[in-house]
A and B are shown apart, each in its own frame.
Chain A
């Protein structure tokens, strides 16, 4: 299996620009998670989906952040407009209920907003 695939791996963008991060979960997994990791705040759960439906978005920092999962094999996390404080590593992860909820992480998208 290819694992969780994220793109882009690295992005540098200017403040005010729109950023779109993409994720392809492991085939057959019914849960998808978006996490953000920073030195100051550690690992934060932003939102997670079950069978393409958002279950808990209480971790989404503000209205500038939005996430979608149009189908079982694709999800996006969008930041519009981006700000320097959004600079972080964004991890997508997926899991399968039947396997005891072990979460598998993608390699992350390293975002720098200047």
Chain B
């Protein structure tokens, strides 16, 4: 079955630490990849997306993600986190064979210690 896996359920970091959140998917063929962020009490907002071209995608607030097709991965990174990055992060995938049905991972809760 098609799926998106986020292996880290809860990550706790100190400010200025580097961040990497894992995301793996099981689709074959052409995919669009997304990271969404949900700040406490708010709705999901787009952080960055990959459609084609350069596999290293830069998003808002200093986040970036790298698409590695051979590993079916789209990991999210940030070199130095801030307290305001405390949120839940969702990886999502659309396969062109799935009639635009976007599938979300289970989310990773990021807590930043000030």
Q: CB of A114 within 8 A of chain B?
A: no
A residues near B99, Cβ cutoff 8 Å: 50, 55-56
List of A residues within 8 angstroms of B49 by Cβ: 100, 102
Task: Report if A97 contacts B (CB, 8 A).
Answer: yes
- Contact of A97 with B100 in the complex, beta carbons under 8 Å: yes
Which residues of the partner chain B approach A45 to less than 8 Å between Cβ atoms? 101-104
Q: Is the CB of A42 within 8 A of B102?
A: no
**Binary interface encoding of chain A residues 90-114 relative to chain B, with 1 for a CB under 8 A from any of its CBs, else 0:** 0101010100111111111000000
Residues of A within 8 A of B107 (CB): 42-43
- Residue-by-residue, is B1-35 near A (CB-CB < 8 Å gives 1, otherwise 0)? 00000000000000000000000000000001010
Measured between alpha carbons, how far is A97 from B49 in the docked complex, in Å? 15
Q: Known: A31-B100, A50-B100, A100-B32. Contact between A42 and B43, CB under 8 A?
A: no
Given A45-B101, A48-B101: A107 in contact with B94 (beta carbons within 8 A): no
Q: Contact string, B64-95, partner A, CB cutoff 8 A, digits 1/0? A: 00000000000000000000000000101010
Q: What band does the interface of chain A fall in when counting residues whose beta carbon is under 8 Å from B?
A: 20 to 34
B43 touching A101, Cβ below 8 Å: no
The 3 residue pairs across chains A and B that have the minimum distance between CB atoms:
A105-B43, A105-B44, A107-B43
Q: Give 27 CB contacts A-B under 8 Å.
A: A42-B104, A42-B106, A42-B107, A43-B104, A45-B101, A48-B101, A50-B99, A50-B100, A56-B101, A91-B44, A93-B44, A97-B100, A100-B32, A100-B51, A101-B100, A101-B102, A102-B34, A102-B46, A103-B46, A103-B92, A104-B46, A105-B36, A105-B44, A106-B43, A107-B42, A107-B43, A108-B43
